[in-house]
């Protein structure tokens, strides 16, 4: 049934790329040559950032996150400003703008002023390559995955700039922690993405989505290990709570944000959420089929499917943030180097073997379902086996409280001189 | 080079890269110099993109800006503050001589080479690059990876403490 296929008419709201394309064509006829490129960039900025990302930051990022974490921790969350506390993020923003942005006298003024600004720019750039629909992608470049990884490594430098410029020990600690953690987690993250790229044989994001649409399977089933690595690595690089050692309040005040106040701090806070949304959008595009949903995209606007999936992915970030306690820095480093890196290498070997078999034997495309089955089993076995090999013994965890002597511990001689049993 | 956009982008990139490179030379603060150096690398990545070598441009940002800059920052942290704010100028003349010689050599090569101009726009795809690396240029590629492994093992050996070495079963 070929009905409900997305057309190229400008009024087809299922793909807003048609409308903007038509608009730009009309403008190109009316305006002098070249101006339309500037307008296209502005239009892409407004469409993806001002219409999608900013409201998402405010109402999914700030409000939804605080509300959900509140519910997870048996609290109400924001409920004072507006209905259900919905206007809380706007009140927060107004408060932040009114506050004075202080600068310590011993700080490096130029760097401290520049850092929040440079922190915002890559976040806007990241959304340029994210496909919201068949035609709704601003820059469908052939190396979009590498572009995403490259641009998302710039904010690390900015956080270092911020931490160093304060001339404050806690800030520098936070900055050093960010750098150390990013070096550690970038490696498994890139190796995991390499597995995905090997499978799809493309570096573009739109073509990755189309590959999944054509094979009728999401890459999360084909690459469960890579998905796990991406999720863990991304949440570590985003400094979200189970791994937010860079701004651990109980250890180093607020890390690289210690001396920031007012809107300068607000930019960091807001853009942290922006990067989390960008990571969610990237994860959805690469692993969860992007704007496709097994044929549903013919009836429902693809951009709605994409936005829904992005928010659900972001919910995973909120969930881990609300549930898990913060890890120590040595635990995080050990996890990256001893657990994630070997797992990522194993994943790469498996994918390379499968890909070679697929190409050399000229196997049918339906072989991906067999690969999916193999990879899911291999992923479960690898994660379980490797964690046991590293000394994880869940059966040794006591189910109820025990005395020290029962557990085989050392009990010193007590005051009555009876000694240990 | 044709088209207003490409020319405009070229001059903007040239301006940014040159100003940043001057900043590397002239700034007294070592950390500022490193940040200017990163901006220079970004400008170079822009040139790669202008030459439709997208993958090279992205790799430039990923490797230089992401990784090497981070390592340079570590190096900055390990230098004492006195040596950071007011750079030594004793080696000014030898450095100037070395740079001048290098510039002369490079300029000579640039002017002397018979540059082949191809009519159709060249495209360096990631797939083509990978194939070239693993077939024609496989020896330099493998040598580079061996070099990196040696560097990795060497750095681990350098930072090992005596206590850790004593624990090692022999």
pTM more than 0.90 = no
- Tell me what the pLDDT averaged over chain B comes to: 79
Q: Which of A110, A143, A154 sits opposite B54 (nearest CB)?
A: A143
3-state secondary structure A314-364: HHHHHHHHHHCCCCCHHHHHHHHHHHHHHHHHHHHHHHHHHHHHHHHCCCC
Separation of first and last alpha carbons in chain A: 80
Q: Does B32 touch chain A (CB under 8 A)?
A: yes
Give the pLDDT band (50/70/90) at residue B139: very high
In a domain, A213, yes or no: yes
In a domain, A91, yes or no: no
Domain coverage including residue A143? 108-390
To which residue do tokens 């210690």 refer? A258
Give the pLDDT band (50/70/90) at residue B132: confident
Work out the average pLDDT over B134-141.
88
What is the rounded (10 degree) CA torsion for A352, A356, A362, A368? -20
In a domain, A416, yes or no: no
For A165, name the nearest residue in chain B, comparing CA atoms only. Answer: B31
In this structure, chain A runs to a length of 421
Which chain B positions have a beta carbon within 8 Å of A150's beta carbon?
Answer: 58-59, 61-62, 65-66
For residue A76, give the H/E element and its range. none
Give the gap in angstroms from C-alpha A143 to the nearest C-alpha of chain B.
6
Separation of alpha carbons A103 and A106, rounded Å? 8
ipTM (interface pTM): 0.77
**Mutation choice for B interface testing from A110, A150, A200, A205 by most B CBs within 10 A:** A150
For B66, name the nearest residue in chain A, comparing CA atoms only. Answer: A153
Q: Going residue by residue through chain A, which has 421 residues, state the pLDDT in tens, using 9 for 90 and above.
A: 344 456 666 666 666 777 777 777 777 777 776 677 777 778 777 777 777 777 887 787 788 888 888 888 888 888 888 788 788 888 888 888 888 878 888 878 888 888 888 888 888 888 888 888 777 777 788 888 888 888 888 888 888 888 888 878 888 888 888 888 888 888 888 888 888 888 888 888 888 888 888 888 888 888 888 999 999 888 888 877 677 777 766 777 777 888 888 888 888 888 888 888 899 999 999 988 888 888 777 777 888 888 888 888 988 888 888 888 888 888 888 888 888 899 999 999 998 888 888 888 777 777 888 888 888 888 889 888 888 888 888 777 777 887 777 777 777 766 555 544 4
Which pair of tokens denotes residue A192? 């995991």
Give the gap in angstroms from C-alpha B109 to the nearest C-alpha of chain A.
32
Q: With contact defined as beta carbons under 8 Å apart, do A130 and A56 qualify? A: no
When divided into structural domains, chain A yields a total of 1
Separation of alpha carbons B6 and B53, rounded Å? 14
What pLDDT score does A97 carry? Answer: 86
In a domain, A315, yes or no: yes
Decide which of B119 and B86 is more confident: B119
Q: What are phi and psi of B137, to 5 degrees?
A: -105, 30
What pLDDT score does A413 carry? Answer: 64
Decide which of A399 and B82 is more confident: A399
**Mutation choice for B interface testing from A160, A237, A355 by most B CBs within 10 A:** A160
Ramachandran class of A111: left when φ > 0, alpha when ψ lies in -120 to 50, beta otherwise: alpha
In a domain, A11, yes or no: no
Taking only the tens place, the pLDDT of each residue in A22-73 is: 777 777 777 776 677 777 778 777 777 777 777 887 787 788 888 888 888 8
DSSP alpha helices (H): ranges in A100-223? 109-126, 144-151, 154-165, 169-200, 205-215, 219-222
Separation of alpha carbons B84 and B64, rounded Å? 22
Separation of alpha carbons B62 and A63, rounded Å? 34
What pLDDT score does A3 carry? Answer: 44
Chain Cα centroid distance, residue B161: 32
What pLDDT score does B14 carry? Answer: 92
Q: With contact defined as beta carbons under 8 Å apart, do A193 and A290 qualify? A: no
In a domain, A333, yes or no: yes
What pLDDT score does A83 carry? Answer: 84
Q: With contact defined as beta carbons under 8 Å apart, do A313 and A283 qualify? A: yes
**Under 8 Å CB-to-CB from A34, ≥6 apart: which residues?**
B4, B5
Q: With contact defined as beta carbons under 8 Å apart, do B123 and B52 qualify? A: yes
What pLDDT score does A11 carry? Answer: 64
Q: With contact defined as beta carbons under 8 Å apart, do A275 and A154 qualify? A: no
Give the gap in angstroms from C-alpha A207 to the nearest C-alpha of chain B.
14
Q: Which of A294, A339, A174 is nearest to A244 (CA)?
A: A174
In a domain, A268, yes or no: yes
Separation of alpha carbons A222 and A109, rounded Å? 49
Contact A33 B69 (CB under 8 A): no
Which chain B positions have a beta carbon within 8 Å of A160's beta carbon?
Answer: 70, 73
In a domain, A55, yes or no: no
């Amino acid at each position: 049934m070929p009905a409900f296929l997305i057309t190229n008419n400008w009024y087809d709201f299922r793909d807003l790329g048609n409308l903007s394309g038509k608009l730009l064509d009309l403008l190109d006829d009316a305006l002098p040559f070249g101006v339309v490129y500037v307008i296209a960039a502005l239009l892409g900025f407004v469409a993806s950032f001002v219409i999608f990302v900013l409201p998402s930051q405010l109402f999914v990022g700030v409000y939804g996150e605080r509300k959900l974490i509140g519910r997870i921790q048996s609290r109400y969350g924001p409920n004072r400003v507006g209905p259900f506390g919905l206007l809380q993020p706007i009140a927060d923003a107004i408060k932040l703008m009114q506050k004075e942005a202080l600068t310590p006298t011993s700080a490096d003024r130029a760097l401290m002023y520049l850092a929040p600004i440079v922190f915002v720019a890559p976040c806007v750039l990241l959304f340029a390559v994210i496909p919201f629909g068949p035609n709704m992608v601003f820059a469908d470049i052939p190396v979009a995955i590498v572009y995403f990884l490259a641009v998302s490594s710039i904010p690390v430098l900015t956080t270092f700039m911020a931490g160093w410029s304060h001339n404050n020990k806690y800030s520098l600690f936070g900055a050093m922690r960010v750098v150390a953690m990013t070096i550690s987690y970038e490696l498994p993250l890139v190796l995991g993405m390499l597995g995905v790229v090997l499978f799809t044989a493309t570096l573009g994001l739109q073509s990755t989505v189309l590959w999944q649409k054509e094979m009728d399977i999401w890459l999360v089933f084909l690459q469960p290990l890579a998905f796990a690595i991406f999720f863990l690595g991304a949440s570590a690089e985003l400094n979200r709570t189970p791994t937010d050692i860079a701004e651990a309040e109980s250890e180093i005040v607020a890390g690289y944000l210690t001396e920031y106040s007012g809107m300068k701090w607000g930019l960091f806070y807001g853009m942290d959420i922006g990067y989390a949304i960008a990571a969610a959008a990237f994860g959805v595009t690469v692993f969860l089929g992007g704007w496709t949903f097994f044929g549903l995209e013919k009836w429902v606007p693809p951009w709605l499917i994409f936005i829904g999936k992005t928010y659900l992915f972001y919910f995973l970030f909120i969930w881990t943030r609300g549930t898990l306690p913060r890890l120590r820095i040595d635990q995080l480093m050990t996890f990256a180097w001893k657990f994630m890196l070997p797992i990522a290498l194993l994943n790469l070997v498996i994918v390379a073997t499968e890909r070679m078999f697929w190409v050399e034997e000229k196997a049918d495309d339906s072989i991906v379902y067999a690969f999916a089955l193999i990879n899911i089993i291999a992923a479960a076995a690898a994660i379980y086996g490797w964690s046991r090999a590293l000394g994880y013994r869940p059966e040794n965890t006591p189910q109820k409280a025990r005395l020290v002597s029962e557990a085989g511990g050392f009990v010193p001689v007590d005051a009555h001189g009876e000694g240990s049993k | 080079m044709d088209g207003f956009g490409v020319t405009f982008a070229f001059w903007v990139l040239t301006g940014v890269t040159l100003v940043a490179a001057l900043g590397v030379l002239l700034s007294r603060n070592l950390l500022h110099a490193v940040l200017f150096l990163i901006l220079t690398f970004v400008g170079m990545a822009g040139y790669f993109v202008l030459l439709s070598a997208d993958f090279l441009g992205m790799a430039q940002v990923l490797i230089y800006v992401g990784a090497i800059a981070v390592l340079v920052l570590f190096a900055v942290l390990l230098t004492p503050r006195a040596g950071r704010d007011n750079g030594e100028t004793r080696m000014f003349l030898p450095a100037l001589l070395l740079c001048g010689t290098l510039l002369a050599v490079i300029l000579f090569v640039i002017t002397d080479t018979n540059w082949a101009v191809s009519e159709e726009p060249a495209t360096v795809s990631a797939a083509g690059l990978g194939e070239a690396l693993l077939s024609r240029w496989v020896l330099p590629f493998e040598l580079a990876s061996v070099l990196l492994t040696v560097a990795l093992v060497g750095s681990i050996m350098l930072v090992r403490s005596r206590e850790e070495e004593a624990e090692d079963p022999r």
